[in-house]
Amino acid sequence: MKLKIATVLATLALVGTAHAQEVSGDAEAGERAFNQCKSCHSVVDDEGETIVRGGRVGPNLYGVVGREAAAVEDFRYSDAITDAAEAGLVWNEEEFASYVMDPTAFLRDYLDDDGARGRMAFKLRNEDDAPDIWAYLASVGPSAE
């Protein structure tokens, strides 16, 4: 029995370490940087509790870490982001950072389609903010609870 408990604890420690390695930014700085995002995006958990009150022009970003693109139910996505999702786009830190820096360029590159356009017109100005925002979203997501 003690061996089973030790094995479970060791596994949990490794999973926690692996998860921590997925996030390179500073969640506290990301919370401040997310102010740029909340005019279009909110963060509302699965029970409907608002973590960040924001706009509804963009999809809810609760649980975006590791989520397939275009997966928020009842949100009307562009054809390009839907095509990217069908091509296998899953949000990780690298893809997220590239997307928020220039959504149209990201989609054109990802889909190898010079005509691809998403609905997100905003471009993050400071590339250092992207990993921080990602870390913040990870810290308020379902796996952080």
Residues 44-61 have pLDDT tens digits of 999 999 999 999 999 999
139 Cβ contact partners less than 8 Å away, ≥ 6 residues apart: 27, 30
Average pLDDT, the chain: 87
Q: 98 or 12: whose pLDDT is higher? A: 98
| pTM for the model | 0.82
Lowest pLDDT segment from 99-103, 117-121, 140-144: 140-144
pLDDT at 99 over 60: yes
Q: Domain of 37: which CATH number?
A: 1.10.760.10
Q: How far is CA 119 from CA 21, 59, 95, 102, 103, in A?
A: 31, 11, 17, 12, 8
pLDDT for residue 117: 96
8 A C-beta contact, residue 95 and residue 68: no
pLDDT confidence tier of residue 4, bands split at 50, 70 and 90: very low
Domain count, the chain: 1
pLDDT at 8 over 60: no
**Residue 60 structural domain:** 2-144
User: Positive or negative, the Cα torsion across 68, 83, 132, 53?
Assistant: negative
For the segment 59-98, what is each residue's pLDDT rounded down to a tens digit?
999 999 999 999 999 999 999 999 999 999 999 999 999 9
